[in-house]
């Protein structure tokens, strides 16, 4: 079956939308100390806004994903783009910690969840071959945020107040994401009911949405993703702050984040190619084990060169494993419910990500050190590896023999 060349436009659009959206959301770690110093709010208090954002993103993922199954991805990502710009603008004007936590946490979390699951589901529907690579390229676009949006945020907050910096990022979100949203189209396989039925993967029997959500395959993917994201969220969010506590200036600390993001680009492409060749599940499980040990390596980081080395290794692994969840979902569940399934996994991942900012902030406020954060994340990473090992694909349907 021939595939439309427009599928690569979907890949580019998804990568760009994800880059700007996640870059805007992850500007908070860059602004973290500036916000705390300007307002007097605690590191834990400001970090809690990110935790609320991750929880909101988790809850919103399955809702936005299910809505994209029904209405198509374009209207969902457009709504998310508008909401993200508005949320950043409003959060930049707040004068109380509670208002900032609610505005940033609820609006930015909800809007970001409108991008990830719908776009991942959309891309998996456009590709029958080279699917792991395509999904990984979209994820790579999202991974460009540390090399583009984070340095921009650091430069802005060095020359402007954090409020003005956040407002400028809100304007950038509106200028880029809203026009790009109109490039997004529903996969051709869903254009007709008959084609949608044909999109059922060979590895899974026909199933209802309720059966899919209750299946062991779905539950294991969710739990694995939760532990996986809980393991890397703390190191991701607190890398800049941790480096500053080690005496590294802010702009150089942000460059560590950029090295992590650059390595993540390579990891996404490499894991995508490996997933196409050796199977997404096998590559995912190996990656989860290596990721667990990668978190421990941050305990050795004190100088800039060591930070670069650890960040490159950690970024390569954690970024590489993440797209494989969507590939495994597409191999096991029908295309017409991809938004719901990937949204459910994103919900679990968002809940996992929500643990890192606040737990890391609490650990630092209590011990004036991040050491116990990395040890805790190592244990969570081992848990993800062990749970992922238990995943078994749906039994393949027996072949239909042609009549003699």
Reported as a single tens digit per residue, the pLDDT across 3-52 is 678 888 999 999 899 899 988 998 888 888 889 888 888 888 888 888 88
What separation in angstroms does the CA of 130 have from each of 13, 125, 188, 279, 327?
A: 18, 12, 17, 12, 10
Q: Quick check: pTM over 0.85?
A: no
How far is Cα 402 from Cα 86, in angstroms, rounded to an integer? 58
pLDDT by residue (tens digit) across 97-134? 999 999 999 999 999 989 888 888 888 888 777 777 78
How far is Cα 346 from Cα 329, in angstroms, rounded to an integer? 12
How far is Cα 375 from Cα 369, in angstroms, rounded to an integer? 12
Are 187 and 125 spatial neighbours (Cβ–Cβ below 8 Å)? yes
* More confident site: 334 or 203: 334
Reading the block at residue 44, the tokens are: 């834990």
Reading the block at residue 224, the tokens are: 């694995």
What is the average pLDDT score of the chain? 85
What separation in angstroms does the CA of 217 have from each of 28, 68, 389, 398?
A: 35, 22, 12, 20
Reading the block at residue 138, the tokens are: 């979209």
Q: State the helix-helix crossing angle for 304-332 and 109-126, rounded to 10 degrees.
A: 60
Cα of 404 vs its chain's centroid, Å: 51
Angle at 233 between CA 104 and CA 369, to 5 degrees: 100
Sign of the CA dihedral with 245 first, then 251, 255, and 258 last: positive
pLDDT (mean) for 70-99: 92
pLDDT (mean) for 310-338: 86
Residue 403: DSSP 8-state: P
Are 289 and 371 spatial neighbours (Cβ–Cβ below 8 Å)? no
Q: Helix H segments across 333-370? A: 338-367
Domains parsed from the chain with CATH numbers: 7-183+199-389 (1.20.1250.20)
pLDDT by residue (tens digit) across 179-233? 999 999 888 876 654 454 545 554 455 678 888 888 999 999 999 999 999 998 8
How far is Cα 277 from Cα 132, in angstroms, rounded to an integer? 9
Phi–psi pair at 219, nearest 5 degrees: -65, -40
Angle at 124 between CA 207 and CA 383, to 5 degrees: 75
pLDDT by residue (tens digit) across 250-263? 778 878 877 887 88
Q: Is 120 helix (H, G, I), strand (E, B) or coil?
A: helix
């Amino acid at each position: 079956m021939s595939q439309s060349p427009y599928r690569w436009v979907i890949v580019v659009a998804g990568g760009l939308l994800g880059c700007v959206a996640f870059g805007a959301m992850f500007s908070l770690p860059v602004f973290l100390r500036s916000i705390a110093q300007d307002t007097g709010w605690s590191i834990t208090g400001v970090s809690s806004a990110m935790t609320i954002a991750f929880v909101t993103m988790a809850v919103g993922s399955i809702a936005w994903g299910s809505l994209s199954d029904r209405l198509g991805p374009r209207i969902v990502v457009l709504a998310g783009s508008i909401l993200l710009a508005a949320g950043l603008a409003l959060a930049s004007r707040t004068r109380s910690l509670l208002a900032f936590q609610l505005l940033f946490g609820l609006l930015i979390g909800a809007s970001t969840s409108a991008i990830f699951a719908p776009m991942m589901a959309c891309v998996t529907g456009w590709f029958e071959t080279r699917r792991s690579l395509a999904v990984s390229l979209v994820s790579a676009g999202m991974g460009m945020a540390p090399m583009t949006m984070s340095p921009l945020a650091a430069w802005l907050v060095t020359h402007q107040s954090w409020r003005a910096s956040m407002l400028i990022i809100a304007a950038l979100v509106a200028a880029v994401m809203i026009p790009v949203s109109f490039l997004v189209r529903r996969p051709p396989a869903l254009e007709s009911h008959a084609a949608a039925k044909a999109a059922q993967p060979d590895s899974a029997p026909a199933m209802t949405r309720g059966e899919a959500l209750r299946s062991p395959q779905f539950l294991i993917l969710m739990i694995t993703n939760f532990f996986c994201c809980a393991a890397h969220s703390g190191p991701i969010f607190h890398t800049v702050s941790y480096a500053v506590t080690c005496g590294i200036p802010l702009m150089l600390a942000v460059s560590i984040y950029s090295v992590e993001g650059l390595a993540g680009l390579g990891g996404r492409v490499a894991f995508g190619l490996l997933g196409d060749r050796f199977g997404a599940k096998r590559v995912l499980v190996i990656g989860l084990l290596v990721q667990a040990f990668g978190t421990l390596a941050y305990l050795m980081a004190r100088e800039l060169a060591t930070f670069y080395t650890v960040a490159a290794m950690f970024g390569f692994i954690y970024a590489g494993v993440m797209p494989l969840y969507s590939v495994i979902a597409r191999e096991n569940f029908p295309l017409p419910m991809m938004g719901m399934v990937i949204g459910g996994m994103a919900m679990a991942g968002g809940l996992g990500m929500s643990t890192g900012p606040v737990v890391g902030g609490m650990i630092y406020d209590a011990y004036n050190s991040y050491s116990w954060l990395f040890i805790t994340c190592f244990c969570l990473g081992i848990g993800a590896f062990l749970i992922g090992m238990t995943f078994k694909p749906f039994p393949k349907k027996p072949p239909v023999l042609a009549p003699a």
